[in-house]
A and B are shown apart, each in its own frame.
Chain A
Amino acid sequence: MTWELFLLFFQQSLMSGLVTGSIYALLALAMVMIFNTTDVPNFGQGEIFMVASYIALVLLVFASVPYLVMIPLTLAAVFFGGAIFQRLVLKRVALARGASVNLVIATLGLSYFLKGVMRQTGIAEVPRSFPALFPTDSVSIGMATATVQDFAILGLALAAMAAFFLFFHFTRTGRAMRAVGMNPRAAILVGVDIERMRWLVWGLSSAIAALAGILISPKLLMTADMGIVVILGFAAAIVGGFTSLPGAVVGGFVIGIVENMVGLFVSSKAIVVAPFLAIMLVLLLRPQGLLGGKATAKKV
C-alpha cells in the first residue's frame, strides 16, 4: 500500500465513520437511556427505529406532508407509541414479576410483533427510501469525500445529542430521570414520580430512535429488517460503557470508524465481525466500557 493510498483510506474511514457512527451513537443513546432508568436492554429498539422510518416515508411520500411537518409528526407518533408500550405492557410485566429477563423477553416480543405488522402492510417488500432533506452533492475534505447530506446527518445528530445533554443536566425532568437511573429508591424519597419517569424515558428514547431513522433512511434504505442496524447501536453502547450517555456517543463514533478501518485496511468480509471484536476487546481490557463507571451489580 502506498503512502498516498494509506492517507486516502485513513481520511475516508474517519469521515465515513463519523457519519454512520453518529447514527449508531443516537441508537446507543436511546438504548442507554432506557437501560439506565428501567434496567432493560431494549431488543425492540431496532423495530421502533424501523417503524419510525416507515411512518416518515408514508407521511412524506404517500401523504405528501412537507418535511418540516413530517418530522415533528413522526417524532410525536413514535414518542407516544413507546410510552404506550411501557404503560400497557412493560408496567404490567414489571408488576407481575420484577425480573428483568421478563422485561427483555417482552421487548423481544415487541420486535417480532412490529416486524410482522410491517410485513402485513405490503410496503416493506422492496427496499425503499425517501428523498433526503439535504442535497446529495459530494464535497471533498482533504482526500475524503462526503455528501452535503452526510454533513447534515452528522450535524443534526450532534445537535440532538447536545440537546439531550442539556436536557439531562439543566431541566428538572431530565435531572429526575438521571436520578431514577442512579438510585431509584432515593429518587422516590425526594419525590420523583418514578412511573411517570419510566414512560417519559420510553417515549423519549423511542423518539431518538425515530430521529435516527429519519436521518439515516435516505442513506441506508429501508426494509422490514433494517432494525438489525441496532446491533451496531448495542455495540456502541457496550464500547461506551452501557450506563454512560457520553460513552454511548463516543462508542457510536468508535464503532463507525472501526468498521470503515477494518473494511479498508483488513477486509470487507471482516466488517460484520469488527463490532463484536471491538466489544470483546473493550470488555476484556476495560470491563466497564470506555466511559462507564465501576461495574455495579445490576441484574439483567
Chain B
Amino acid sequence: MKRATLAVVILLALFALPMVASGYILYLANLLMVFVVLSLGLNILIGETGQFGLAHAAFYGIGIYTAVLLNNATGAPVLVTLLAGASLAALIGLVLGAISLRMRDIYLALSTFAFGEAVRWVFASWTPVTGGPNGLRINPSNLFGFKLVTDRDAYLLVLVVTLAFLLLTIQITRSRLGSAFRAVRESEIAAAAMGVNVRGVKIAAFALSAFYAGAAGGLFTTFSSFIHPESLGFMTTIMVLTMIVVGGLGSVVGAVGGALILGLFSELLRQLLSFQEIIYGAILMLCMMYAPRGLMGLLERKQAGR
C-alpha cells in the first residue's frame, strides 16, 4: 500500500514539475531520463542476461543520427523518428548479437568495445551524412504538428516515453523472456537443459538492449539542438555501466536509481572544479568496496536488518 502511494506521489510530482521548474532544471530532467532509458537497456543485456556488450553508446548514436536525419529531411512525427532510430539500432544489435554468439565474457566485452569505437569513427568520418567532426544541427521535433523547441516543450513527451519504457521493462522482467534471460545469466548449460533457446535469448537481449539505446537517442533529439560524435564514445558506455553497477546490477529500480543519482552527482560535481575527477574516482572505488550490490543492495540490507 505504502509503495503505491509513494509511486503516485512521485508521478504527480513528475508531471507537475514543468509548472515550477526553470528550463535549466527541465533540461537536466530530460537528460537524466535519457540516461534512465540507456541504463534500463544496458541492464537487460548485462544485468539480466549477463552478456557483456560494451557498444551501448554506438546504439545510442545510431538512434540519435537516424532520428535527426529523418527529422531534418522529412519532418516526420517524433514518434516515427524515435521508433525508426530504435528499430535500426535493434536491427544492428541483432546482427552484432548473432555475430557475437561464438564469443564469451572478456572476448565479447572487447569485441563489442571495438565495434563501438569503430561506429564512433564512422560517425566522425562519414561527413556527408553525419556532418562528421562538425557535428549535426537538430531541427525541432514535430509532435502532432506542434514543434518541440524548448526543454519545457519536450519534457512531457520524454517523461511519458521514459515511463513507458519503465513499464515495458517491468513487464519483460516478469515475463517468460525475463526468466529466460536470467537462466542464461546463471548457467547456459542449465538453461538449455530447461528448454531455453540460449542462442535466441542472447540475440533477443542484444536487440532489445540496442532498441532501448536507440530510443534513448531519439529522446535526446527532442530537446537537443546539436550532436557531436565526441559524446558517443566508450566513455559514455562506461558511464552507463557505472550507473547500473552503482544502482545494483540486474535490478530495474537499481538501474533507474543509479542513472538518477550518478547523473545528478555529475551535474553537482561541476561546482567542485578540478577536484571532481578525484572525487568521482574515489566514489567508484568506495562504492565497490562497501556497497558491492549497489544502492539496491544497501536498501535490501537495511530492510532485512529491520
CA distance A110 to B283 in the complex (A): 10
Given A114-B281, A279-B110: A299 in contact with B289 (beta carbons within 8 A): no
The answer to whether B110 and A111 have CB atoms under 8 Å apart is no
Set B105, B114, B274, B285: member contacting A276, Cβ < 8 A? B114
CA distance A103 to B280 in the complex (A): 16
The answer to whether A119 and B274 have CB atoms under 8 Å apart is yes
Residues of the B chain whose Cβ atoms lie less than 8 Å from the Cβ of A108: 238, 242, 281, 284
Residues of the B chain whose Cβ atoms lie less than 8 Å from the Cβ of A101: 46, 52, 241, 245, 249
Given A93-B288, A101-B249, A105-B288: A279 in contact with B111 (beta carbons within 8 A): yes
Q: Nearest-CB distance from B238 to chain A (Å)?
A: 7
**Is A288 an interface residue when CB atoms closer than 8 A count as contact?**
yes
The answer to whether A280 and B105 have CB atoms under 8 Å apart is no
The answer to whether B249 and A280 have CB atoms under 8 Å apart is no
The answer to whether A280 and B278 have CB atoms under 8 Å apart is no
**Is A221 an interface residue when CB atoms closer than 8 A count as contact?**
no
Q: Nearest-CB distance from B199 to chain A (Å)?
A: 15
Set B105, B121, B280, B288: member contacting A112, Cβ < 8 A? B280
Given A96-B290, A101-B245: A297 in contact with B278 (beta carbons within 8 A): no
Given A116-B276, A242-B106: A272 in contact with B121 (beta carbons within 8 A): yes
**Is A115 an interface residue when CB atoms closer than 8 A count as contact?**
yes
Given A35-B106, A116-B281: A106 in contact with B288 (beta carbons within 8 A): yes
Set B110, B125, B285: member contacting A234, Cβ < 8 A? B110
Residues of the B chain whose Cβ atoms lie less than 8 Å from the Cβ of A96: 288-290, 292
Interface size range of chain B in the complex: 35 or more
Set B103, B108, B274, B285: member contacting A109, Cβ < 8 A? B285
The answer to whether B121 and A242 have CB atoms under 8 Å apart is no
Residues of the B chain whose Cβ atoms lie less than 8 Å from the Cβ of A166: none
Residues of the B chain whose Cβ atoms lie less than 8 Å from the Cβ of A99: 249, 292
Residues of the A chain whose Cβ atoms lie less than 8 Å from the Cβ of B109: 41, 300
CA distance A117 to B109 in the complex (A): 29
The answer to whether A287 and B102 have CB atoms under 8 Å apart is yes
By Cβ-Cβ distance, the 7 closest A-B pairs, closest first, are A109-B284, A116-B277, A113-B281, A112-B281, A116-B278, A97-B292, A109-B285
Most chain B beta-carbon contacts within 10 A, residue among A113, A120, A298: A113
CA distance A298 to B276 in the complex (A): 34
Q: Nearest-CB distance from B232 to chain A (Å)?
A: 14
Number of interface residues of A (CB under 8 A): 46
**Is A196 an interface residue when CB atoms closer than 8 A count as contact?**
no
Is chain A's binding surface mostly helix, strand, loop or mixed? Answer: helix
**Is A283 an interface residue when CB atoms closer than 8 A count as contact?**
yes
CA distance A283 to B117 in the complex (A): 15
Residues of the B chain whose Cβ atoms lie less than 8 Å from the Cβ of A283: 103, 107, 110-111, 114
- A-B contacts, 16 of them at CB < 8 A, read A89-B289, A96-B289, A101-B245, A108-B284, A109-B283, A109-B284, A109-B286, A116-B277, A238-B110, A242-B106, A269-B125, A276-B114, A277-B118, A287-B107, A298-B105, A300-B106
Residues of the A chain whose Cβ atoms lie less than 8 Å from the Cβ of B104: 295, 297-298
Given contacts A99-B292, A105-B242, 5 further A-B contacts (CB under 8 A): A111-B281, A115-B277, A116-B275, A272-B121, A279-B111
CA distance A119 to B105 in the complex (A): 34
Residues of the A chain whose Cβ atoms lie less than 8 Å from the Cβ of B242: 105, 108
- Whose C-beta in chain A lies nearest to the C-beta of B118? A276
**Is A284 an interface residue when CB atoms closer than 8 A count as contact?**
yes
The answer to whether B277 and A295 have CB atoms under 8 Å apart is no
The answer to whether B278 and A120 have CB atoms under 8 Å apart is yes
CA distance A108 to B282 in the complex (A): 10
Binary interface encoding of chain A residues 142-181 relative to chain B, with 1 for a CB under 8 A from any of its CBs, else 0: 0000000000000000000000000000000000000000
CA distance A105 to B289 in the complex (A): 10
**Is A102 an interface residue when CB atoms closer than 8 A count as contact?**
yes
The answer to whether A298 and B106 have CB atoms under 8 Å apart is yes
